[in-house]
Structure formats: C-alpha cells, structure tokens
C-alpha cells in the first residue's frame, strides 16, 4: 500500500529517467531538447504532488463557507515560475538548433562533430 500510495512519485522518477535517457542517448538535437522538457516536467509533478493535502480544495477563501482544508498553494506558485523558466530554456534551445541547422546543414550530433573536426 505504501508503494501504491506514492504512485505520483514513481511517475516522477520514471519521467525523470526517460528524460535523462533521451538527453544522453539521442543524437538528434531536437529529441535531446524534448528529453530535457520531459525531465523538467517530471520535476513539476514532484512539486504539484507535494502540495496535495488529503481532502483539500482550491486555496480560495470564501466567506461563509466555514472551516475548510486547503491544498498548499506555494508549490503551485513556485512551479508556475519553473514552467516559465522551462519554456524559455526550450525556446532558446530550439533557436540555437535553428542556427546550427543554418550553419551546419544538419541537426544530428555525430555529423556536426565530424564537421567540427574538419574546421
């Protein structure tokens, strides 16, 4: 039960590993960036999971609703920032890939390295 109860964290670890594998093993630069994106998404899930409070609702104070249990809003805010950071990183990465394509005519890592050696 302990293991199943933490399934969010298993998904986190699984996504993290998939992302890291793609970053390391794929020679295609766009696939590397996709791996990086999955890697970061895993961390978003970690933060969102820890914010969950059992039986908690959205943290909005309503007049007359009485005592309520709320989810922790802080990790949501943090991860909103981290998502923006992730988008900027992938966007910049893709821009660099476009420039690499213009200069080298390819986005495969091994072919780029072969050209760099000849320079």
Partner 1 sequence: MTLAQQLPALAVAVPLITAPLAAAAMVFHRRHVAWLVAATASIASLAIAIALAAGVDPVHGVSYEVGSWPAPYGIELRVTSFSALLLMIISGASALALLAGKASLDAEVTMQRRPYFYAAWLLAVGGMSGIVVSGDAFNIFVFMEVSSLATYILIAGGRDPRALTAVFKYLIMGTLGATFYLIGVGLIYMMTGTLNFADMEARIVDVANLKPILAAVGFITIGLALKAGVFPLHVWLPNAYAWSPHVVTTFIAACSTKVSLYVLLRFDFLVFHGSLAGHDLQFSGFLMPLAVLAILVASGVAIAEGHVKRLLAYSSVAQIGYIVLGASLLTANGLTAAIVHFFNHALAKGGMFLAVACIALRARSLRLDDLAGIGRLMPWTTAALVVAALSLIGIPGTAGFISKWYLVVAALDEGATGIALVAVVLLSSLMAVAYVWRIVEAAYFRPPAGPDLAVRDAPAPMLAVLWAVALANIWFGLRPGLPLELSRAAAAALMRQIQ
Q: Which of residues 67 and 92 has its CB atom nearest to partner 1 in the complex?
A: 92
Do the beta carbons of residue 32 and residue 66 sit within 8 Å?
A: no
- Residues within the interface to partner 1 (CB under 8 A): 20, 23, 29, 32, 36, 39-40, 43, 46-47, 50, 75, 78, 81-82, 85, 88-89, 92-93, 96-97, 99-100, 103-104, 112-113, 116, 119
CA-nearest of 56, 44, 59, 58 to 8 is: 44
Work out how close the CB of 58 gets to partner 1 at its nearest, in angstroms, rounded to a whole number. 20
- Contact residues for 94 (Cβ-Cβ < 8 A; gap 6+): 30, 33
> Which lies closer to partner 1 via its Cβ, residue 66 or residue 117?
117
Choice between 9 and 65, CB closer to partner 1: 9
Q: DSSP 3-state assignment of 32?
A: helix
């Amino acid at each position: 039960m302990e293991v199943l109860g933490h399934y969010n964290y298993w998904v986190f670890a699984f996504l993290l590993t998939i992302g890291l594998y793609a970053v390391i093993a794929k020679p295609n630069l766009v696939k590397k960036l996709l791996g990086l994106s999955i890697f970061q998404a895993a961390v978003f899930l970690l933060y969102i999971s820890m914010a969950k409070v059992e039986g908690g609702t959205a943290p909005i104070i309503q007049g007359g609703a009485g005592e309520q249990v709320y989810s922790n809003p802080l990790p949501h805010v943090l991860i909103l920032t981290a998502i923006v950071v992730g988008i900027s990183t992938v966007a910049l990465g893709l821009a660099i890939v476009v420039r690499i394509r213009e200069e080298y005519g390819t986005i495969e890592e091994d072919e780029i390295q072969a050209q760099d050696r000849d320079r």
